[in-house]
Amino acid sequence: MRVLEARFHPRRRTQADFVMLGYLIWRGLRGERPVFEPARAVVPDAVLSKLQYLVVMTEPDSFERLQALRSDYWSFVPIAAEEARGPAARGRQFGS
């Protein structure tokens, strides 16, 4: 299982402040879209929509390409699967 922590930088990435939105979790099947597990009870629809767009636009190798994304407002950090909180089954499958 591979996991990226999705971070949003509201004041541009040059600032140290960011909001950790949640986790993108790939269970290991090649070509599958990740499940998004939010870290907060509510992630605004507009932010979730943009995150889904970034995942789709970086296919077919989203895990690698999101990490290489050059953005002032988004970053994706690989973490150990154990660090993601809660079961991925609660998450939202992108593209379904």
Segment 8-32, tens digit of pLDDT: 988 765 556 888 999 999 987 777 8
Instruction: Give the N- to C-terminal CA distance of the chain in Å, as an integer.
Output: 20
What is the dihedral angle through the alpha carbons of 67, 81, 52, 33, rounded to the nearest 10 degrees? 100
What is the tens place of the pLDDT at every residue in 58-85?
Answer: 998 999 999 999 998 999 999 987 776 5
At 67 the three-state DSSP class reads: helix
Burial label, 39 (beta-carbon count in 10 A; 0-12, 13-18, 19+): middle
